[in-house]
């Protein structure tokens, strides 16, 4: 039974990596590399190697990642490295296979936008499945483990900045660097939307004199957990309850409508929550 489940999981993961890799391959081959626009990370570096030496981009990406997988095995665990290795192998192969795809030769800004969107979509699909495609993601994880004060975002930013500068130097064209920055920005935004956007969450603070009744309303009708803090109005000295509740964005409309219908004097503060981990929410 366990073996059958593992096989089904492997097939499912492989299908996801192929789908994500196909989108990424279209991005690289149709919109970016042959228009002399770099993507971030190892793909950007591999594109430079391809331009200078003619080496296949996908093959260079895979070869660059092999030392990283070996180094990260003990630090990040076999399961993570194995899934990332398989995802990287599939994506690298699809990039080389897709070399025959037609190249978009229109507006370079449109090429940057679509290239960034497709690359971000491809990577986001892989990331949300619990793997990576190696490169700067693994480097950032390893550096963060040794130097916790250096965030993952800072490491990726430094690497991508170096790639942008390298592109301008190699292609001898400042516009290449500018377009590369557009690609990296659009790609990162797309990745964030795929990982977090589908389940964007809000944190709601409710200040009311009817705390117990609103708690029952939230748990029974809106089906969300709630935490109650005892508060006191700074101006009126009136005792009030402060209820804290996390919910998905698509629930906030119903949330506000029901609470205001129950207590029109309730004071609500709604703020975005980048990520919520715990019961009732996604686990990453």
Topology, domain 201-273: Alpha-Beta Plaits (3.30.70)
**Confidence label for 1 from pLDDT (cuts 50, 70 and 90):** low
Selected residue with higher pLDDT from 147 and 41 = 41
Q: What is the pLDDT of residues 211-222, one digit of tens each?
A: 778 888 788 877
**How far from 93 is each of 104, 167, 172, 213, 237, CA to CA, in Å?**
21, 24, 29, 59, 68
pLDDT of 97 strictly over 90: yes
Q: What is the pLDDT of residue 154?
A: 67
Selected residue with higher pLDDT from 137 and 92 = 92
* Residue 226, CB-side half-sphere exposure with 13 Å CA sphere: 24
Q: What is the pLDDT of residue 62?
A: 92
d(CA 168, CA 252): 46
**Confidence label for 57 from pLDDT (cuts 50, 70 and 90):** very high
**pLDDT mean over 227-242:** 76
Is 99 buried (19+), middle (13-18) or exposed (0-12) by CB count in 10 A? Answer: middle
Q: Where are the beta strands (DSSP E) in 161-258?
A: 201-208, 227-232, 239-248
**How far from 112 is each of 58, 120, 142, 178, CA to CA, in Å?**
20, 12, 30, 10
pLDDT of 241 strictly over 70: yes
3-state secondary structure of 104: coil
**C-alpha dihedral (155, 161, 163, 167), degrees to nearest 10:** 180
> Mean pLDDT score of the chain, rounded to an integer?
82
Through-space distance between the first and last CA atoms of the chain, rounded to whole angstroms: 26
- Cβ proximity of 242 and 228 under 8 Å: yes
Q: What is the pLDDT of residue 164?
A: 84
Percent of the chain with pLDDT over 70: 89
pLDDT of 151 strictly over 70: no
Q: What is the pLDDT of residue 89?
A: 93
pLDDT of 42 strictly over 80: yes
Q: What is the pLDDT of residue 283?
A: 45
pLDDT of 95 strictly over 70: yes
Q: What is the pLDDT of residue 268?
A: 85
Q: What is the pLDDT of residue 142?
A: 74
Q: Which of 65-74, 207-216, 221-230 has the highest mean pLDDT?
A: 65-74
Q: What is the pLDDT of residues 183-202, one digit of tens each?
A: 988 988 888 778 766 566 77
User: Could you give the angle at which helices 78-97 and 2-26 cross, rounded to 10 degrees?
Assistant: 40
Q: 204 pairs with which residues across the strands? A: 245, 270
Q: What is the pLDDT of residues 109-137, one digit of tens each?
A: 999 999 999 998 998 888 887 777 777 77
Q: What is the pLDDT of residue 58?
A: 92
What is the residue extent of each domain of the chain?
A: 2-197, 201-273
What are all long-range contacts of 276-283, with beta carbons under 8 Å and residues at least 24 apart? 276/201, 276/203, 276/246, 279/225, 280/224, 280/225, 281/199, 281/201, 281/246, 282/199
d(CA 62, CA 56): 10
Q: Which of 111-115, 158-162, 193-197, 263-267 has the highest mean pLDDT?
A: 111-115
What are all long-range contacts of 100-108, with beta carbons under 8 Å and residues at least 24 apart? 101/25, 101/26, 101/29, 101/30, 102/30, 103/29, 103/30, 103/31, 103/34, 103/35, 104/30, 104/31, 104/35, 105/35, 108/35, 108/37, 108/175, 108/179
**Confidence label for 74 from pLDDT (cuts 50, 70 and 90):** confident
């Amino acid at each position: 039974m366990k073996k059958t489940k593992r096989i089904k999981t492997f097939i499912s993961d492989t299908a996801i990596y192929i789908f994500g890799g196909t989108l990424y391959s279209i991005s690289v081959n149709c919109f970016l590399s042959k228009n002399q626009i770099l993507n971030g990370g190892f793909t950007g570096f591999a594109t430079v190697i391809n331009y200078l030496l003619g080496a296949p981009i996908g093959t260079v990406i895979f070869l660059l990642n092999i030392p990283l997988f070996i180094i990260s095995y003990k630090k990040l665990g076999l399961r993570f490295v194995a899934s990332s290795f398989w995802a990287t192998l599939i994506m690298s192969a699809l990039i080389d296979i897709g070399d025959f795809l037609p190249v978009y030769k229109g507006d370079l800004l449109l090429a940057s936008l679509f290239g960034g969107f497709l690359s971000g979509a491809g990577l986001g699909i892989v990331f949300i499945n619990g793997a990576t495609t190696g490169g700067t993601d693994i480097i950032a994880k390893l550096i963060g483990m040794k130097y916790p004060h250096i965030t993952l975002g800072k490491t990726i930013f430094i690497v991508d900045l170096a790639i942008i500068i390298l592109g301008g130097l190699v292609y001898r064209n400042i516009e290449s660097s500018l377009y590369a920055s557009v690609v990296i920005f659009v790609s990162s935004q797309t990745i964030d939307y795929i990982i977090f956007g589908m389940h964007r969450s809000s944190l709601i603070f409710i200040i009311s004199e009817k705390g117990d009744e609103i708690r029952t309303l939230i748990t029974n009708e809106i089906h969300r957990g709630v935490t109650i803090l005892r508060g006191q109005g700074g101006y009126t000295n009136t005792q009030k309850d402060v209820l804290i509740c996390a919910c998905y964005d698509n629930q906030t409309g119903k949330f506000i409508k029901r609470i205001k219908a129950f207590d029109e004097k309730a004071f609500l503060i709604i703020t975005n929550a980048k990520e919520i981990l715990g019961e009732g929410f996604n686990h990453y």
